[in-house]
Chains A and B, each alone.
Chain A
């Protein structure tokens, strides 16, 4: 309170105001107005079919009443799909990790020569740009429906993440060990093997666990476009309006993901 000022004084009573988050008033108001204008424009341009949306309420009721209680009658299909998802995730993780190591070495600025570095970065950026589902569609078209498409997709997905993180780790290594080996006249490959690899190994194992977990999640999704695993089972159930089976599958996916996340989180905490 600044109520010390006498009533006769000309200075008005000043109250404290919270300082604004963005100090520049032009930027502050500009951003705010920009956001509002954008939101109004965007909502205006989006084609909403209001009649269809109104129908949605009764449809939603039908879907929800159709999905309760979840049906585990065809659980052998469910288990089969789930096991396939696990297999896809395991193989894709292994393949992805194996390919990530050389790509990460290529994409580390302190190790690779400029053209190789650009090539490595390019590979990582392309692998990361596409949502796994888009990659999955292309592979399904190229190699047919089924788990191969899933494995190839998730391999690329793994490269995008693991190689990127690994390359960043390589750029941070302790350079002393590399110099020590170089000064003893060691060959280039041997330098990588004995001075660089041991330093990135802990991160690599942590990333492997994380990626296994994340591939399992993704394998549930790429199945939606025909790349095998539990997602394919889910899509079939949905397509046949078996909403109770679909709910059962979804619940199982959630449970498995939570369990795997818990396990992989625990392992990573112990090594990382």
Chain B
């Protein structure tokens, strides 16, 4: 006989849940102790870190604003890199999104081609793309624009492709029933359904690209990062502080503009 319900002690987890939790905890502990014991850390440097970081901050004070006009120009360049790259990427990503959505792709081969482009674009970080294009085109904004564009393609194509897959098929069928051409079906039945996502995703990517563009200069691909790298190399910490503040302002303004655009246009 089972003990009556009233006699059973309440416990929060079943024994299976308890064991799973214990196992997960064990895995975490093992992973952490493995990492800690084998990683190549020089512990005196770790204990010294707070003092060093504090020292760095005192050297940054007060920010040096003598080169503010150069910084503002570099910020504008950063903004231009992000915006132009986003504009181009948005246009190029449309056909890729079209062939990588299951309901619009012409055939299997194009579907896989589309997916391949999306995955390879997304898995390589902007900076790695930038390294490659700096090696090809030389240092400068062009390498930056192309790097940001290549990275954005995967993101835009994936999200727009997913939006195309989720459309309501009835307008498409209705248009097909009237004998509309393929181009017209796309233009009048698919595009209007996808446009809100399209704008939302473009604005979101622009915001992300603005952040990404701030570091392109570190590998020589233009923008504010060039000044930052120069100031760090010459140990000009007070200018570094100004550049960092400028980047915060740019990113916050960019976020505000993106939020405003989302509310206004969508």
Chain A residues within CB distance 8 Å of chain B: 18, 21-22, 35, 38-39, 42-43, 45-49, 52-53, 55-56, 59-60, 63, 83-84, 86-88, 90-91, 94, 125-126, 129-131, 133-134, 137-139, 141-144, 146-148, 152, 217, 220-221, 224-225, 228, 234-235, 238, 250, 253-254, 257-258
Contacts and interface: CB of A to CB of B under 8 A. Distances in A.
A91 B83 CA distance: 36
A134 B52 contact: no
B124 interface: yes
A45 B80 contact: yes
A253 B83 CA distance: 28
A148 B32 CA distance: 15
Nearest to A80: B40
Interface string B29-64: 001101110111110011011001101100000000
A52 B138 contact: yes
Contacts of A137: 218, 228, 232
Contacts of A147: 39-41
Given A84-B40, A141-B232, A152-B49, A48 B138 contact: no
A224 B219 contact: yes
**SS class of chain B's interface: helix, strand, loop or mixed?**
helix
A47 B31 contact: no
Contacts of B87: 35, 39
A142 B49 contact: yes
B25 to A, nearest CB: 12
B35 A87 contact: yes
Contacts of A126: 248
Contact of B32 (A35, A38, A48, A94): A94
Contacts of B188: 18
A86 B31 CA distance: 10
A196 B62 CA distance: 42
A257 B119 CA distance: 11
B244 A134 contact: yes
A148 B41 CA distance: 6
Interface stretch (B100-108, B127-135, B155-163): B127-135
A253 B49 contact: no
User: Which of A45, A133, A254, A258 has the largest count of B CB atoms less than 10 A from its CB?
Assistant: A133
Contacts, number: 147
8 contacts: A42-B84, A60-B136, A83-B38, A87-B38, A130-B248, A134-B228, A139-B53, A257-B123
Contacts of A55: 138
A129 B45 contact: no
B248 to A, nearest CB: 5
B167 interface: no
A52 B145 CA distance: 16
Interface in B202-246: 211-212, 214-215, 218-219, 228, 232, 244
Interface of B: 28, 31-32, 34-36, 38-42, 45-46, 48-49, 52-53, 55-56, 76-77, 80-81, 83-84, 87, 119-120, 123-125, 127-128, 131-132, 135-138, 140-142, 145, 188, 192, 195, 211-212, 214-215, 218-219, 228, 232, 244, 247-248, 251-252, 265
A159 to B, nearest CB: 15
A47 B212 CA distance: 20
Contacts of B31: 90
Contact of B218 (A60, A220, A225): A225
A56 B141 contact: no
A131 B136 contact: no
Contacts of A21: 195
Nearest to A126: B248
A221 B35 contact: no
Contacts of A238: 131, 135
A217 B125 contact: yes
Given A146-B42, A147-B39, A254-B123, A56 B138 contact: yes
Contact of B52 (A42, A59, A142): A142
A60 B244 CA distance: 34
A220 B125 contact: yes
Contact of A84 (B39, B45, B84, B140): B39
